[in-house]
């Protein structure tokens, strides 16, 4: 399904004629950097669009690439923007936009994986996806295998660099059996696929995968143990102990506060001491303490 596109041409297009085809969220700091860069040195690379016609016959353009640059131009008050215009179908425009976002490798992990999955669903094979995204065939084949098995946790770990792809595939191939997964982990360690921090992270990941499932977004609720008479008694006893500890802490604080207020009364009864405090501008107390030393008083 390899495709070729017509020769493009550069035009100056009104910003209000452009419609974003494949919108993406972006980091605020990254966007601010784009705006500042364009403000200082101008637009280094034009956006890419494809022409369309509105229902009323007026002309518009679908944005294929350059959403950040387009938004930056808008924020700077510009009315027009340089754009490379290509004449492609809606499907091809979407694929081009998707492939561009993936190739940048700056998308969030799940965006990247979803993009590869959408390219696969559009009918592209691993070789074509690799060509369009700049990723290796082996990497694409591994990612598609993990996607096929619903291994979201392993996918995120691979894309974030926490564990190697070949180790993730080994774990995935072991299925759901704890014994087989542990054997796969041991094999990955012995073959040098998992060492050091990668091994530690893999062990934690396997435990999460076992208890919460392979999917991140579709995990079901955790099982809540049934309530029994013994569990109620334990909960009651724990609450009683907690309240006893709170009472002891409150009594200790009360005793210390009483000691402090009595000591202050004696010290502040000494005229020489109070004169010294005034000379050093230390003749005030916190309100809650002053009220206990002298009711209603805020000063020495």
pLDDT of 298 reads 44
pTM above 0.75, yes or no: no
Q: Which residues of 33-52 are buried (b: 16+ CB within 10 A; e: fewer)?
A: ebbeebeeeebeebbbbbee
pLDDT digits 0-9 by tens, 34-88: 777 777 767 777 888 999 988 888 899 998 888 888 888 888 888 999 888 988 8
Residue 15: band (very low, low, confident or very high) from pLDDT cuts 50, 70, 90: very high
Q: CA 43 to CA 35: how far, in whole Å?
A: 10
- Considering 11-20, 168-177, 209-218, 223-232, the range whose residues carry the highest mean pLDDT is 11-20
pLDDT band at 146 (very low <50, low <70, confident <90, very high): confident
pLDDT of residue 4: 45
pLDDT, position 18 = 92
CA–CA gap between residue 272 and residue 236 (Å, rounded): 56
Whole-number Å distance between alpha carbons of 100 and 86: 15
Instruction: Write down the pLDDT at residue 228.
Output: 54
CA distances from 296 to 285, 291, 300 (A): 12, 5, 12
On whether the 1-107 domain is CATH 3.40.640.10, my answer is no
């Amino acid at each position: 399904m390899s495709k070729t596109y017509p020769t493009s041409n550069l035009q100056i297009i009104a910003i209000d004629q452009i419609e974003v085809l494949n919108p993406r969220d972006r980091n605020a700091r990254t966007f601010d950097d784009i705006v500042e860069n364009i403000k200082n040195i101008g637009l280094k690379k034009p956006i890419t669009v494809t022409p369309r016609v509105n229902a009323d016959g007026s002309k518009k353009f679908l944005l294929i690439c350059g959403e950040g640059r387009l938004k930056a131009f808008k924020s700077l008050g510009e009315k027009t923007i340089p754009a490379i215009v290509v004449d492609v179908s809606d499907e091809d425009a979407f694929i081009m936009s998707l492939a561009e976002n993936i190739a940048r490798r700056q998308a969030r992990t799940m965006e990247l994986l979803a993009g590869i999955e959408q390219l696969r669903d559009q009918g592209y094979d691993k070789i074509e996806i690799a060509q369009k995204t700049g990723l290796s065939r082996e990497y694409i084949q591994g990612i598609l295998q993990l996607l096929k098995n619903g291994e979201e946790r392993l996918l995120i770990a691979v894309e974030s660099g926490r564990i190697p792809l070949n180790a993730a595939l080994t774990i995935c191939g072991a299925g759901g059996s704890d014994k087989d997964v542990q054997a796969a982990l041991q094999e990955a360690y012995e073959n040098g696929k998992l060492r050091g921090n990668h091994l530690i992270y893999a062990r934690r990941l396997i435990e999460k995968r076992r208890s919460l499932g392979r999917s991140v977004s579709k995990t079901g609720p955790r099982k809540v143990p049934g309530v029994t008479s013994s569990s109620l008694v334990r909960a009651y006893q724990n609450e009683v102990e907690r309240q006893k500890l709170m009472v002891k802490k409150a009594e200790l604080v009360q005793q210390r506060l009483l000691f402090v207020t009595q000591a202050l009364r004696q010290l502040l009864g000494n005229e020489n001491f109070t004169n010294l405090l005034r000379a050093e501008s230390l003749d005030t107390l916190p309100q809650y303490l002053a009220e206990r030393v002298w009711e209603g008083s805020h000063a020495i």
